[in-house]
Amino acid sequence: MTSSSRPFDLQIKLLMIGDSAVGKTSLLLRYANDTFSSTFITTIGIDFKIKTIDLDGKRVKLQIWDTAGQEQFRTITRSYFRGAQGIVLVYDITDRGTFNSVRSWMAQINDHADAQVNRVLIGNKADFETARQVSTEEGQRLADEYGVKFFETSAKNDVNVTECFTTIAREAKARIPTDPNNNRQGQRLNSGRASGSKPGCCK
């Protein structure tokens, strides 16, 4: 509440997606609040946090949306895709299934997000080396295939968390013209609905 009232030059909407329990909420809370707990509660639907940062001389307000990972909710969560400027796709390096889902998530982005949206691939829980099921090289290869940056992170030990958010914010910022009037308040996640300038918001 306090952070939102501070002035900023640019607002960027980020969306966190990935299978259930890969650590989306943990990453977000580590980044936004610098806290960690192994028992964050299940995200139902969508949640969001604000973090204002200094990025190359500009005050940038990040509005980060955290989504439910479970399959059922995709029908609901994909309506949040449109209007997001950056997408953080997370898998769990200790769970191959979540890595295998990355392709289907990428397809979802393709179908439902804005065409130029920036993406970053994250392998979380890098602190749990003994349980690793997906190698760093595999992760990197997949990221290269989609042409996106790749990080292995640990929300628990605070490894690479800030880096990944800063990277995606910087990429999005480079793409978006700095126009304070356009980014003042009431940012639209569902921009198709707000402006009316986009024809047909449904597929």
Partner 1 sequence: MGVVSALKKYRIELKLEKLEHQVARRQIRTLEEEVAALRRSLASLASRRAECLVLVDRRAGTLLRRAAWWLDVADQRRALAVSRAWLVASGGKSRGARPPRAKSVVAAADAERFSAWRRLLESLGDLPENNESLVVEAAEQLSSLMSFSDDEDDEDEEATSRDDEAIELDLRRTRDGADLDPLRLTLRRVCEEHPDVGYCQGMNFVAAFILRRASGDVDRAATVFSRLFSALRLRSVYGADMPGLKMLLFQLEALLALHLPHLAAFLNDLDLPPALYATSWFVTILVNFLPERDATVAWDHLVAVLASPPPPWTVDEDSNRPVALRGWALVFRVILLSLEAVADDVVGLSFDDTLHQLQNFPLTFKGTSLARLLASKPHAFEENEPLDAQLDNLRRDYAREISNGRSSRTLKPTTSYRAAADRVFKYSRAVLHASISTSLNPPPVGAASSTTASPRSNATNVFSEDDLSLSSST
Among 21, 32, 55, 159, binds partner 1 (CB under 8 A): 21
Residue 122 parent element (H or E): strand 118-124
Q: Distance between CA atoms of 126 and 71, rounded to whole angstroms?
A: 24
Q: Distance between CA atoms of 141 and 125, rounded to whole angstroms?
A: 19
Q: Distance between CA atoms of 60 and 68, rounded to whole angstroms?
A: 26
Among 9, 32, 36, 46, binds partner 1 (CB under 8 A): 46
Would you count residue 50 as binding partner 1 (CB under 8 A)? Answer: yes
Would you count residue 198 as binding partner 1 (CB under 8 A)? Answer: no
Site for partner 1 in 61-80 (CB under 8 A): 63, 68, 70-73, 75-76, 78-80
Select 38 or 116, whichever has its Cβ closest to partner 1. 38
Select 149 or 194, whichever has its Cβ closest to partner 1. 194
Would you count residue 190 as binding partner 1 (CB under 8 A)? Answer: yes
Quote the least distance from Cβ 14 to partner 1, whole Å.
14
Would you count residue 181 as binding partner 1 (CB under 8 A)? Answer: no
Quote the least distance from Cβ 77 to partner 1, whole Å.
9
Select 74 or 149, whichever has its Cβ closest to partner 1. 74
| DSSP structure class, residue 44 | -
Residue 85: CB partners within 8 Å, gap ≥ 6? 12, 13, 14, 114, 117, 118, 172, 175, 176
Would you count residue 130 as binding partner 1 (CB under 8 A)? Answer: no
Query: What is the CB neighbour count within 10 angstroms for residue 79?
Result: 16
Q: Which two tokens stand for residue 70?
A: 């479970």
Residue 203 burial class via C-beta count within 10 angstroms: exposed 0-12, middle 13-18, buried 19 and up: exposed
Q: In the complex, which residues of this chain contact partner 1 (CB under 8 A)?
A: 1, 4-5, 20-21, 38-48, 50, 63, 68, 70-73, 75-76, 78-80, 185-190, 193-194, 201-203
